[in-house]
Amino acid sequence: MRLLFVVCGEGLGHASRSTKLAKYLEKFGHKCYFASYGKALNFISKQGFTVFDTYREVILEGESGYFSLSKTVWSSKGVLLSLARSLRDIRRIIIEKKIDVLIADTMYAAVFAAKIQDIPSLFITNQNKFASANDEHSKHWEILSSVVEKYLTLPDNIIIPDFSYPNTVSAYNLDIKREDSSRYKFVGPIMDAKLSDYKIEKKIIFASFGGEPFKIPMYGMLKEIANERPFHQFEVFSTSPGLPAESRNFKTHGYTDDILSYMAQSRVNILHGGLTSIHESLFLGKPIVMIIDPYHPEQWNNGRKIEEIGAGIMLPGDKVTKETLSDAIDEALNMKVPDMSYLFVQEDGRVKTMAAIEDAVRKHNSR
């Protein structure tokens, strides 16, 4: 089959999991193409795939460094035009490359293009219910959840790149109706790593919790904590400018191809609460300190689940101080993370997604 992945370019989490899946599919003789935008374009190209530039559908915006739905809506007021342009681009690629199956990773116009061209489509997401720590019951989240729920009736299958219940990390971000449950496929994390590939150690404090403006001072707090803990080695990863100067036990890094090799050496992972990095930490059996954006509609819910299973501690970004961060690190250092290694074997996201693709093709062809 010839497959087209249409991938959200906000960050690299979407591109990372989609390219891992595509590499797996190509082992079975399938041909994979990509369409995306932003930093993801270069990342996908470096993975060896043909990638087409397409339109950004929504412009995510913030206020004082935090996610802002109102500003995002205002900045995305041309969303209908962007969707139309994206739809046009994706239809052209489907026709030119004779695409058999479309997989959209949180890109919405692509599924409409697949419908028009009458080919099977799948949508990758770990969220159909929206809420944030600071306004859980706001009407705007209810409206957004309702719109997305209706949209998700369009793809042949919806891929949830997470463990099945009751181990679903993103459980609080999902509300699946019984009548729709057969189309929601919990495939497990989409990863291509084996534990045997890594030497699991407890040598460093690993930190990669985003580059939003409100988080830059927190890297300064972390540097102060490092100064007070000469017996701990801090390894910090961020592509944002403004990080503190390095010292003997505080090292900074930009983008790295194999970040898991550093996470495997950690005693604690300080993260931002995104699903991909949480899965990576659980895979390696590392406790997590999550510094979340309290206005972000995903991170808080992921953090709630991680706290419930005893794998980490959540800190709202607008309330973090040097003292609370230091205390959270100490608490995490004494945590024993539940062994979830068996789940990564049982629920291989690549294997189960390929089965979901085959199921979508069968259903589409039987109509």
pLDDT in tens, 255-267: 888 899 999 999 9
3-class secondary-structure state, position 281: helix
Give the pLDDT band of residue 241 (cuts 50, 70, 90): confident
Contacts of 70 (CB under 8 A, 6+ apart): none
3-class secondary-structure state, position 235: strand
Mean pLDDT of 307-330: 94
Peptide bond into 166 cis (omega under 30): yes
User: Which amino acid belongs to residue 198?
Assistant: Y
3-class secondary-structure state, position 36: strand
Domain range 2-189+347-365, CATH architecture:
3-Layer(aba) Sandwich (3.40)
Stated pTM of the model? 0.90
Written as six digits, the tokens of 169 are 């990390």
Mean pLDDT of 117-133: 89
Residue scoring higher pLDDT (138 or 7): 7
Percent of the chain with pLDDT over 90: 71
Break the chain into its structural domains and give their ranges: 2-189+347-365, 195-344
Mean pLDDT of 70-87: 67
Burial 210-219 (b: 16+ CB within 10 A, else e): bbbebbbebb
Tell me if 323 sits within 8 A of 296, measured CB to CB: no
The count of C-alpha atoms lying within 13 angstroms of the C-alpha of 349, restricted to the half-sphere facing its C-beta, is 25
From the candidate CATH numbers 3.10.350.10, 3.40.50.2000, 3.30.70.360, 2.130.10.10, the one assigned to the domain spanning 195-344 = 3.40.50.2000
Domain 2-189+347-365 matches domain 195-344 at the CATH topology level: yes
Burial 237-250 (b: 16+ CB within 10 A, else e): bbeeeebbeeeebb
- From residue 164, alpha-carbon distances to 160, 201, 278, 325, 347 in Å are 9, 29, 16, 32, 8
Q: Residue 285: what pLDDT?
A: 97
Q: Is 267 exposed, middle or buried (0-12, 13-18, 19+ CB in 10 A)?
A: middle
Mean pLDDT of 283-304: 91
